[in-house]
Amino acid sequence: MITIKEINTKKEMKQFVKFPFSLYKDNPYWVPPIINDEIASFDKTKNPVFEHANAQFFIALKNEKIVGRIVAIINTYEVGKQGLKKMRFGWYDVIDDVNVSKALLDKVKEIGCKNNLEYIEGPIGFNNLDKTGVLTEGFNHIGTMITWYNHPYYKVHLEELGFKKEKEYLENKFLFKNVDAKKYKRISNLIQNRYNLKQLNFTSTKKIMPYVDEMFDLFGKTYSKLSTYVPISDEQIAYFKKKYISFINPEYIKFVIDSNHKLVGFAIVMPSFSEALQKAKGKLFPFGLFHLLNARKNSKDVTFYLIGVHPDYQNKGVTAILFSQYCETFSDRNIENCIRTPELEENEAIHKIWKDFNPETHKRRRTYRINL
C-alpha cells in the first residue's frame, strides 16, 4: 500500500531532501545538492520565492520506506496576474513503480482542482531561476548543479499516466577551441565603435553588486516574451545576490554598457561544480567546501548560466562583445568545455547566438502537461 504524507517538520524535510541520495546511489551522472542549502531553499521563512508561491511537500511511503517525493506549487503571480490557471509540480523523484508516481501526481491534481486551476505542468520549479524539465535524452552525461537528473523511466511513468509533452528544452555543449577568438575580437571592436558601447570586466565581487539589480531588470526585458517567463521580485533578487553572486568567479560575469552607462548586455558563466558536488556527497564539511573551492579555481569546464541583451540591441552583435571578453578569460584559465543550461527548443534567437561554435545537443528534457 502506498501512503502519501505531507512534510511538516524539519526532520521530515531532511528526509525529503535526502531521498534522491539513495535513489541515485552509485549513479555516476547524478549531481547531489548540498543538503543544508537545499533545506534552506525550502524554508518559507528564508526564501523570498514563497512570497509569490504556495508550495506543499509530499513523500510517498511503502512499507514505511520513502519511495517517492514531489512538491506541489502554485505560483500566485502566474495565476493571479498572468491569468495562467496552472498547477506546477517539481522535485519529482520516484522508484520505478508507476503507482507511486500516480499517487504523488494525484495529490497534485487534488490541490489543483481545489484551487480551480485548469492544468498541471512539470516538473518545474517556483520561477525561471529554478530547475526545469524531466531528462528524456542524455542519461549518460553528468548533470549540472542547475538541472535535475532522473532515471529514464520518469518519462515512461508520466506518459503512461496521460501527461503530454508541453515544452522541449535542449542542452548543448561545445569545445572552447571551436571559438575563433580573433574573429570575435575584431567584431567586438567594430560593434563597440559603431554603437558607442563599452565592455565591463570585474576582478572583485564587490564591484559587481551595484549592477545586479539592473542586470535582472535586463533579464526581464530579454525573456519576458517567452511563454515560460514569470517576473522575479526584488526580494528574490536580493536572495540571489546573497546566495549565488559571491560564489561565482567575478571574472566570469561580463557586462556591456552604452554611452550613458546603461546596461545593454550581460552574461554569467560558472565553473562546473558537478564533480566537486559528487565528491562533497551533500555536505560542505569537512571536505565538501574544499572540493567546491578547488573547482571554482581550477575547473576546465564552464556552464553558461544566464545571458541577456536589451531588445533594442538584439541582432546588433552585442554577444560578440561578451564572447570576446570570455575568450580572453577562458584562454587564461585553459578552459576546455563550454556547457549551456537548458534552452527552449522554440527560442530561435538564443540558438542563433551559438550556431558558429559547432554545438552538440547532448541532452534533451521536457515538461509535461495534463488538463484538470
pLDDT digits (tens, 9 = 90+) for 68-122: 999 999 999 899 988 999 999 999 999 999 999 999 999 999 999 999 999 999 9
Q: Is 228 within 8 Å of 122 (Cβ atoms)?
A: no
Comparison of pLDDT for 102 and 225, the residue scoring more: 102
* pLDDT at residue 327, rounded to an integer: 95
| Contact present, 337 and 293 (Cβ < 8 Å) | no
Q: Name the residue with cell 491534481.
A: 109
Rounded to an integer, the average pLDDT of 336-344 is 93
Average of per-residue pLDDT across 249-277: 94
Quote the CA–CA distance of 240 and 126 in Å, as a whole number: 14
The x, y and z cell numbers of residue 25, run together, are 546511489
- Write down how long the chain is: 372
| % of residues, the chain, pLDDT over 70 | 99
pLDDT band, very low/low/confident/very high, at 188 (cuts 50, 70, 90) = very high
Q: Which residues lie closer than 8 Å to 83 by C-beta, 6 or more apart?
A: none
What is the predicted pLDDT for the residue at 212?
86
- Where in the chain are the domains? 2-170, 174-364
**Cβ pair 47, 40 in contact under 8 A:** yes
Rounded to an integer, what distance in angstroms lies between the CA atom of residue 103 and that of residue 111?
A: 13
190 SS3 class: helix
Residues 6+ apart with CB under 8 A from 155: 134, 136
CA distances to 3, 143, 257, 325 from 253, rounded to whole Å, are 46, 22, 13, 10
What span, in angstroms and rounded, lies between the C-alpha atoms of 372 and 121? Answer: 11
For residues 215 and 240, what is the distance between their CA atoms, to the nearest angstrom? 12
**Residue whose grid cell is 540558438:** 351
Tell me the CATH number for domain 2-170.
3.40.630.30
Report d(CA 63, CA 87) in Å as an integer.
29
What pLDDT score was predicted for residue 241?
77
Cα 187 to Cα 70, 121, 263: the distances in Å are: 48, 42, 19
Under 8 Å between Cβ of 313 and 152: no
Cis check: omega of the bond before 123, within 30 degrees of 0: yes
What is the band of 228 on the pLDDT scale with cuts at 50, 70, 90? Answer: low
Q: What is the mean pLDDT of the chain?
A: 93
Measured distance CA(133)–CA(289) in Å, rounded: 28
Question: What CATH class is the domain 174-364?
Answer: alpha beta
Same CATH topology for 2-170 and 174-364: the answer is: yes
Tens digits of per-residue pLDDT, 277-307? 999 999 999 999 999 999 999 999 999 988 8
Q: What is the mean pLDDT of residues 238-265?
A: 88
Phi, psi of 280 (to 5 degrees): -70, -30
Biggest alpha carbon–alpha carbon distance for the chain: 69
